Amino acid sequence: MHVSGTIRVPGDKSITHRALMLAALAGGTSWIGGALTAFDARSTARVLRGLGAELSPLMPDRVTRVRAGRRFHRPSRRLDCGNSGTTTRLLLGLLAAHPFRAELTGDASLRGRPMRRVTTPLAQMGARFEDLVDGDGLPLAIRGGRLHELTYELPVSSAQIKSALLLAGMAAAVPVHLREPLGRSRDHTERLLRAFGFAVQETPDGWIHSVPGARLAPFELQVPGDPSSAAFLVAAALLADAGELAVAGVGLNPTRTGFLQVLARMGASVRQEPEREELGEPVGTLVARASSLVATEVNGAEIPALIDEVPILAVLAARASGTTVFRGVGELRVKESDRLALLAEDLVSVGVAAEAVGDALYVTGSDRPPRGRVRTLGDHRIAMAFAVLGTVPGAAVDIDDLACAGVSFPGFSATLRSIIPRPAGRRA
């Protein structure tokens, strides 16, 4: 099995969400190239249209035009966030600064994901919430209005919580002071706000201070390729027998590339080639070569910078020499699925020794070809990770729903086949 060539991956999901939302409040016409066109991004576009913004269709190789005023309009119907937790939580932050009532819902998976981690601090700022069902989830109603300054220590390191509160402060023009408990989560919101002139400062003791004083303006942006999507193709190159693969135009934000440090400890040959910046976001090329891997330990402080890459790192650990331990990954239990338990279950199903214990995952590598059936429960990162494992010579990995990869990576199967011309699992 040999890899070669240069490829590109779809636009960064996190940046696409944020860019669309900021453009919808920028008071004019913004142009966003390279925006992700997958289901989650379309959910954000849909709810922004429901709030009065005009967005051209999200289409591959097309620049998205966003025309909007400086405030959202009261929605005429319930806002459907699909499967996107980022859409929901960031939108709650922006709606908190708007003086009207709005209802949010989503698909069955999203309705079961926790929202109080966001609504609790937003309520402290002055927003009001109404649970429309029993439990901590969607649908729920928010009534925003005049907010006040917030000082808050997050219960978990989470870019979604952090961003919701920073965006609430921006939209309401009030100061926000935040601290994450362990590790630094992705900082796309901070970088974008700084690019617009907002004062967002970080102190050595972990506090983030955001104060009003700037204003959004229409902008142009070329969204970098998503490093989380690139990680799957990098992994496929590492598992190959030989060759080198370049992933061009990808975001190299250090709060998103923690997986590269783990790969380096595992003996992987991956180098970064920085090239430019887009609204404060570093962009460049990742070059990966086929490598022999060894086990490592991933500690809790590293997890915020690689939370989305744990599935593919676990798959690589399944081919590494020794037992790899992931600590502090309990947050995976409240993703699109109980991703931690599902990872362990699926690894065992294909013949890998793995166990999820509390908030830790243990994976012992093997050189035996992986064979068995994988359940995804609609989790796109599980599907893509095991599709990569299915490229190992002699593998027979039967994936029940590879189509769910479209949540974040449209055309994933074709892209994987283009770099490794062999079946990567069954599309249900």
According to DSSP, residue 103 is labeled E
**Alpha helix (H) residue ranges in 240-391:** 258-265, 310-317, 339-349, 380-389
Return the beta strands (E) in 185-262 as ranges: 199-202, 207-211, 220-222, 242-251
Q: Are the C-beta atoms of residues 9 and 225 closer than 8 Å to each other?
A: yes
Q: What are phi and psi of 219, to 5 degrees?
A: -150, 170
The residues, ordered by sequence, that sit 6+ positions from 156 with a Cβ below 8 Å of its Cβ are 117, 180, 181, 182, 331
Q: Is 143 exposed, middle or buried (0-12, 13-18, 19+ CB in 10 A)?
A: middle
User: Beta strands of 173-320 (E only): which ranges?
Assistant: 176-179, 199-202, 207-211, 220-222, 242-251, 269-278, 281-289, 297-298
Q: Which helix (H) or strand (E) holds 230?
A: helix 227-239
Q: List, in sequence order, every residue forming a beta bridge with 288; answer none if it has no partner.
A: 245, 270
Dist. CA 423–CA 428, nearest whole Å: 13
Among the listed residues 12, 80, 187, 308, the single catalytic one is: 308
User: Would residue 308 show up in a list of annotated catalytic residues for this protein?
Assistant: yes
Dihedral sign computed on CA atoms, order 395, 400, 405, 411: positive
Is 227 within 8 Å of 277 (Cβ atoms)? no
Residues carrying an active site annotation: 308
